[in-house]
Amino acid sequence: MPIGSITRGTTGTNRLRRVDRWIAAHPVLRRADDPLVVDLGYGASATTPLELHQRLRKVRPDVEVVGIEIDPERVRLASLSARPGVSFRLGGFEVPLDGGRRPAVIRALNVLRQYDESQVDASWRLMTSRLQPGGVLVEGTCNEVGRVASWVDVTEAGPQTFTVALHLASLEAPSVVAERLPKALIHRNVPGERVHDLLVDLDRQWAIAAPLSVYGPVQRWIATVEGLRAAGWPVRHGRTRWRLGELTLPWSAVAPRP
């Protein structure tokens, strides 16, 4: 029996573009001997595995994407869209694959959202136990149109980084991501928790950087992220990622307090 439960299948065209872009730049995919990527819980249509394949092919022409869904009817439907490099199969968090193959990347977006917070750890452990050595699970949430997203990179050693990715041109305040935090954090946006402090500081820096709006939202975001770093947050990467509306921190900077 696949491990997990069937949940709502909401998905959409271009919804996961920010995560596709993150995976495309991921060193794990670029250096993998077997560039196998799983899109776990792809939902009511084949859209997101097909888009993921299309985008990853540009950096790894030999990439293979396997869409895994726990709902047999969704697998039957998606299988009609199978093509070279993209296949579909029934399964759950145990990530079943033929011939003992292991994925370099598992992407699980908007899947754990419908589970209980207490189930996050076990599902992370199960999925990461299926990865190739050095592989990564990208687990997170986004809004319906993919303009507000956040995710955690998890390896067999546990959660590594937390990333926020926002559509800057339509952004009023970065704390809008509060509604789209990964399951491990969404109930922790309360005073006393690190992720709450982060969102408060992020909005503060966004407000301080308001005068830079005359140069456009990207310049304002870059100043916001630089302000966060100056305030002591261990921000990762540099302008190349920030100009995409991203912000990445080590997991330890936002991890829930015990």
Ligand X SMILES: C[S@@+](CC[C@H](N)C(=O)[O-])C[C@H]1O[C@@H](n2cnc3c(N)ncnc32)[C@H](O)[C@@H]1O
Q: How far is CA 60 from CA 95, 176, 234, in A?
A: 22, 33, 31
Count of residues interacting with ligand X (CB under 6 A): 26
Q: Per rule CB under 6 A, is residue 110 in the interface with ligand X?
A: yes
Q: Which is nearer to ligand X, 92 or 174 (CB)?
A: 92
Q: Per rule CB under 6 A, is residue 53 in the interface with ligand X?
A: no
Q: Which residues share a beta bridge with 149?
A: 142, 165
Q: Which is nearer to ligand X, 90 or 218 (CB)?
A: 90
- If you write DSSP's letter for every residue of 177-199 in order, what string do you get? GGGG--HHHHTT-STTSHHHHHH
Whole-number Å distance between alpha carbons of 121 and 239: 32
CB 222 within 8 A of CB 243: yes
Among 20, 71, 153, 201, binds ligand X (CB under 6 A): 71
Whole-number Å distance between alpha carbons of 195 and 200: 9
Q: Per rule CB under 6 A, is residue 65 in the interface with ligand X?
A: no
Among 65, 75, 104, 111, binds ligand X (CB under 6 A): 111
Of 79-87, 103-111, 149-157, 204-212: span binding ligand X (CB under 6 A): 103-111
Q: Per rule CB under 6 A, is residue 51 in the interface with ligand X?
A: no
The residue assigned the tokens 């985008």 is 55
Q: How far is CA 107 from CA 40, 63, 140, 197, in A?
A: 6, 14, 9, 27
Q: Per rule CB under 6 A, is residue 9 in the interface with ligand X?
A: yes
Give me the least distance between CB of 199 and ligand X, in Å please. Answer: 22
Of 27-35, 105-113, 151-159, 196-204: span binding ligand X (CB under 6 A): 105-113
Q: Which residues bind ligand X (CB under 6 A)?
A: 3-11, 15-16, 40-43, 48, 68-71, 74, 92-93, 109-111
